[in-house]
Amino acid sequence: MSALIEARGLTIQRPGSHETVLQNVDFRIGPQEIVTVVGPNGSGKSSLVRALLGHMPLAAGRVVRKPGLRIGYVPQRVQVDTTIPITVRRFLSLPRRISDDVAARVLTRTGVQGVEARQLTQLSGGQFQRVLLARALLHDPHLLVLDEPTQGLDQPGIVAFYKLIEEVRRQTGAAVLMVSHDLLVVMRASDRVICLNGHICCEGTPQHVSTAPEYRALFGAGSEGTLALYQHHHDHDHDHDHDHGHGHGPHPHHHHAEAP
C-alpha cells in the first residue's frame, strides 16, 4: 500500500527563529487510515499538519505527497468576519462555485441538510464544524485533514462528530488525519495514534499508545479523560530517558509501531 503522504526526518523551527518546534519526525498515512495526532499545547501538532500540507518551511527532512493527491483541509482556526453576512450556500462556493445539487448532497452527508440559507454566524458550534467538514469534502479528497475539528463542542457533540468522521471514511474511502484533544474519543475512533511532544513520543494502535509509558508520562495515569491533556505534567526527565529504555529525546524511533 503506497502512502498518501510520507515525511522523513521532519524538523521545523518556530517562524523567525532557530528554536526547534519539531525534531526529526517520520510520518506516513496510507489510504483510508484514520490517524490522530495528540499532544500537549504547543507540542507541534498544528506545525506538523501544516508542514505535511506544504504550508510551512522545513528546517530539515522532506515530505512526499502522492502525485495528484487531493486534500480537504479544515484548519484549527477559521475566522468568520461577523460584519460581513455570508450564507452557508455562498461559503460553500468559495473559492470555487458549486451547484445547488452538490451543496445539498454534501450538507446531507455531514448531517446538516437544509442549512443553505442560514448565515454562518447563526450556526451552532456543531453545525459550523459540520459545514466546514462539508466544504472540505467538496472536491472528493483522498485525504481529509482536520485540525481540532471538535473544539468548542460538548461531549455528545464530540462523540457524534467522530461517528460522522468514521461514516465519511466508510462512504468516501478518504483517509483522515486529525489533531485532537479529545483523548477518549480519539482512542476509540483512530486506527493509529501519534503522541507528539516536539518529537514522536510513541505511536501505534490506540491500545498500544494508551498503555505506553511515554503517553502516560505526558497525560497522566488516568489519561482517558479529556481534562488530562490540560493538566499534563511533563514530569519525566529527557536527559535520563535512555536509561529507562524510553522513546523520548533525540532518538524518537524506539517505540514506533511499523507503519502499514
Ligand X SMILES: Nc1ncnc2c1ncn2[C@@H]1O[C@H](COP(=O)(O)OP(=O)(O)OP(=O)(O)O)[C@@H](O)[C@H]1O
- Rounded Cα distance between 57 and 39, Å, is 21
Site string for ligand X, 16-35 (x = CB under 6 A): -----x--------------
Binders of ligand X among residues 40 to 99 (CB under 6 A) are 41-47
| Nearby residues of 190 by Cβ (< 8 Å), 6 or more positions away | 34, 35, 36, 178, 206
Site string for ligand X, 132-151 (x = CB under 6 A): --------------------
Q: How far is the CB of 214 from ligand X (least distance, A)?
A: 16
Between 79 and 99, CB nearer to ligand X: 79
Select the residue interacting with ligand X from 36, 39, 61, 130 (CB under 6 A): 39
Binders of ligand X among residues 160 to 219 (CB under 6 A) are none
Sequence-distant contacts of 168-171: CB under 8 A, at least 24 apart? 168/109, 168/110, 168/133, 168/137, 168/144, 169/32, 169/34, 171/109
| Nearby residues of 180 by Cβ (< 8 Å), 6 or more positions away | 36, 37, 38, 148, 149, 150, 186
Span from 37-45, 59-67, 77-85, 182-190 in contact with ligand X (CB under 6 A): 37-45
Between 16 and 67, CB nearer to ligand X: 16
Residue type, 181: H
Contact 248, 214 (CB under 8 A): yes
Length of the chain as a residue count: 260
Confirm or reject binding of residue 232 to ligand X (CB under 6 A): no
Confirm or reject binding of residue 247 to ligand X (CB under 6 A): no
Q: Which residues bind ligand X (CB under 6 A)?
A: 14-15, 21, 39, 41-47
